Each structure stands twice: as C-alpha cells, then as structure tokens.
Amino acid sequence: MGFSALLASALCTFVLPLLLFLAAVKLWDLYCLSTRDHSCSLPLPPGTMGLPFFGETLQMVLQRRKFLQMKRRKYGFIYKTHLFGRPTVRVMGADNVRQILLGEHRLVSVHWPASVRTILGSGCLSNLHDSLHKKRKKLIMQAFNREALQCYVPVIAEEIKNALERWLQCGDSGLLVYPEVKRLMFRIAMRILLGCESGSATDGDSERELVEAFEEMTRNLFSLPIDVPFSGLYRGMKARNLIHARIEKNICAKLGGQREPEAGGWRVKDVLQLLIEHTQENGERLDMQELKQSATELLFGGHETTASAATSLITYLGLHHHVLQKVREELKTKGLLCKSSHDEKLDIDILEQLKYIGCVIKETLRLNPPVPGGFRIALKTFELNGYQIPKGWNVIYSICDTHDVADIFTNKEEFNPDRFLLPYPEDSSRFSFIPFGGGLRSCVGKEFAKILLKIFTVELARHCDWQLLNGPPTMKTSPTVYPVDNLPTKFMHFKGEM
C-alpha cells in the first residue's frame, strides 16, 4: 500500500470523524445560542453548552462536586450550561437567588426536569402552579401547625428511642448509619404523613422493600428522559409503580374507615387524610392517581431529606466532641440529661427553649443542605446581574453554593454553631441561608423537619456516645447529600450525667 493510500486511510479513520465531531459541537453551540432573546441587548451569561444532545448532564452527574466547583471558579455566580435536555442558567449568591425566589409566577415558574415530572407526576405539590399550588400548600400546612406538631412529638420520640436501642445493641461491629437513619425516618414519615398505625410501617420485609423502592426511585429521579428498558427513567418508574401499589392499599383502608386511633390518643389528621377529606367535602371526584402522587412526594420529602440531615448531625457531632458537650450542657440546664428525665415526655415548649441545639441544626444545614437547589423556568426574558435570562430557559438556583459564598459567614469551612447565636441583619441573611428554599415555594414541611431534628439530637445526645469508624466521610449528592461509605459507626451507652 502506497503512502497516499495510508494517508487517505488515516484521514478516513481518524481525522474525518474528529472534524465531524468538532463541527457537530460547533453547530450545537450555535443552536443553543440561537435560543437567546435577540430583542434584548444584554449578553448571555458566560459558560459552555457541552456535547450535542447530552449537553453537560453526564459531567454533572458523574463529577458533580468537582464539576460545579470548576464552573464556579471559571464563570462566577451566574453561568450558562445545558442540563437534562435544556439550555440552563445556574445561579448562586444571596442577591441573585433573591430575585429568582421572589420572582415566582412573575419572572419564573417551577419546572423540574422531565424525568422528575414523569416519575413524581403532575399531581404532586412541587409540580402544581399558581392557585392550585397555593390551595394545596395551604391544605397541607394544616398538618404542620403548632397543635399538630405537639401531637407528633411523642410519636417521633418513640420511634427514635426504639431505633437507638437497636443501634446500641450492635456492639463493637457498629452499623452503617445512613441506611439505618433512612429506615427510621421512613417509619416516622409513614406514621405521621400517611397515618400508618404503629407496627404496620415497621414490618421488616415490607419496610425493606419499600425503602429499597424509594432508593431506586431517588437514584433515577434526575436521569435522561429516555423511557427504554434498563434506562434510569425506566427503573425509576418501575420503583414508583411499586410504591404506588402499596400506597393505594393505605388509601383504600382510609376510605373504608379501617384506621384506628393510636395509643396515647393521637388522632391529629395526617396529610393524606386531609387531602382525602378535602376532596370529599368539595364534592370532587377522588383521583386515586393524584393521591398516590401526593403521598409519594410526601414520603420522599419527609424521609429522604431528614435522613440526610440527621446523618450529617451524627457526623458533625461525632467529629466535634466539644459541640456535643455544649449540647449536653444545654440539656442539663433544662433538666433533660439526668436519668430520671429520660422517661419524661418532650413537648413543643421545651424544644423551643433549646436554642443551642437549634444552632447546631442550622450549622449542619448550612454545611450540608440536604437539597442542593431548585429548578425554575423563565416565563419571560429578564435581567439578572447584567445578563439576560432568555424566556424558556431553565434556571437552577443553588442552595449549597449560596451558603458557600455568603459574605455574612466567616471561616466558612469550620463547623461552628455559635455563629448562629447572634442574629444576622435580616436584609443580608434572608437569602444567604436557605436550606428550605424561600419565597412562595419554601419547604411546606420545614417546621416539621426542625422539630424532628431537634428531637433526634436530644435523644441521641442523652442516650449515646459514638465513634465514626472511618473518620470524616466523603459526601456525595444523588439527589440528596449522603456519605459515600454510609458512615460506619460504633454506638455506646452515654455514661455521663445520671
């Protein structure tokens, strides 16, 4: 074979495909940029749009923390990208996030990726808009008022103490904290949010199957919108269908009047019961699919995020023993650390007095917010810090990055709950610390989450000492924050104040 033939073969094998690939990438960039609003003179934010069709979704999924840190260093607090099949602007920083969160229904509207909308369904709260969202949120909030929270306290405390007793029996071998905490939070969510009777949510095989289904659904919430066998979306929907089948049995039991009062007279209506009664009282057709979607969303939000936060609490208190000591000092001043107090029931008034524990929870949520951000879509072209955000583009506001760059926090990498003992100026802090989001779509269950995490911290501190067997964990987000090694930990009885 002559030299010219070898050269032609090399061109066809290597150079031509490379040129075609580069041309495709260039055409992709031109296509993405053509969606800008040409009637607006402002430039698009800086950034890159990634590979044709895939955009930068794969890099973000595979290298999330590294990828996002690189983007922030290179492009700053606002940049363009292409994620989950759509041109996207990613936003961080208190001033920028303020404009997004307060612009709901005016500048932006909620718009989760197609995979999230498909798996969770159009009938859940996070996918509702305008008056439908306002009406549903107001209804659900009834289950999280102060009176209801007071009734939930003994139920939460009972489940937590039962779990801690099991953890303490594991001995020197320890246990994997994150899966155990997820099961604990799942039991609490089943009892309080869906009204499952004590015991029905804790049957071993049934519980494991449901928790595993939720894990599979959660892993595939943010996936490419391709519904073919073995794709992420396919696996997520299959897990969702199993969850829906179990929830439908619970709904049918409620409709049949089979629910009995729990021990202790706990008869506050759970969220699912409120939704059912609201539909019946208004003479509306009972939409089983919509109820199942709402219940699935409640269970996801009610146990996945609190499990993430509770695991982070165990991590930080295990790494910073002086903070744990201060927690116990506060409990001692309230008479909650002596042995005789362990049988006394907590209540809302006592929990509200535990200011330092509240600061520990805030600092944990500052460093490890369970939910990294939220998705919106631009309803019209608008300006954000000198850039145009074109109509129809997705907008992601970042909670974790906003905490990282907040000017009001000094020594940002340090775990220091004391920073929250002194109030920050309202103007500068309102959107610098947003673990529950903000604006019209702030987390509907945030007061429930705060109470639950306080009870968890109280019971943990007065019953247990513990050792993180692998030291400080590496954290990952998928889609909530969790330790890669599941946090292997050895629990021991607390031998202090008696």
Closest listed residue to residue 394, CA positions, set 43, 68, 88, 116 = 88
Please tell me the predicted confidence (pLDDT) of residue 263: 42
pLDDT surpassing 60 at residue 316? yes
pLDDT surpassing 60 at residue 487? yes
Contacts of 466 (CB under 8 A, 6+ apart): 314, 318, 489, 490, 491, 492
Domains, the chain, in order of start with CATH, read 125-493 (1.10.630.10)
pLDDT surpassing 50 at residue 498? no
- Report the alpha-carbon distance of residue 194 to residue 248 in Å, rounded: 11
Please indicate whether residue 117 or residue 329 has the higher confidence score (pLDDT): 329
Percentage of the chain lying above the pLDDT 90 cut: 47
CA angle in degrees (0–180, nearest 5) for 304-240-308? 10
Please tell me the predicted confidence (pLDDT) of residue 324: 97
Q: Which residues are annotated as a binding site for heme?
A: 443
Number of alpha carbons in the 13 Å side-chain half-sphere of residue 258: 11
Q: Please, where are the H alpha helices in 113-231?
A: 114-120, 130-141, 146-168, 177-192, 204-219
Q: Which residue has the tokens 């992601």?
A: 396
Q: Which residues are annotated as a binding site?
A: 443
Give bridge partners of residue 81 from the DSSP assignment. Answer: 88
Peptide bond before residue 52 is cis, with ω within 30 degrees of 0: no
Please tell me the predicted confidence (pLDDT) of residue 202: 45
- Report the alpha-carbon distance of residue 110 to residue 374 in Å, rounded: 8
Instruction: Pick from 51-60, 80-89, 323-332 the range whose average pLDDT is largest.
Output: 323-332
What does the DSSP assignment read for 466-485? EEETT-SPPEEESSSEEETT
pLDDT surpassing 50 at residue 411? yes
Considering only 19-33, 59-73, 366-380, which range has the smallest mean pLDDT?
19-33
pLDDT surpassing 60 at residue 48? yes
Q: How many CB atoms lie within 10 A of CB 374?
A: 23
CB 129 within 8 A of CB 110: yes
Closest listed residue to residue 232, CA positions, set 121, 126, 118 = 118
pLDDT surpassing 60 at residue 1? no
Residue type, 327: V
CB 424 within 8 A of CB 418: no
What does the DSSP assignment read for 306-328? HHHHHHHHHHHHHH-HHHHHHHH
Burial of residue 440, with CB atoms counted within 10 A of its CB: 0-12 exposed, 13-18 middle, 19 or more buried: middle
pLDDT surpassing 90 at residue 440? no
From residue 359, give the alpha-carbon distance in Å to each of 146, 432, 453.
Answer: 20, 16, 12
pLDDT bracket for residue 418 (50, 70, 90): very high
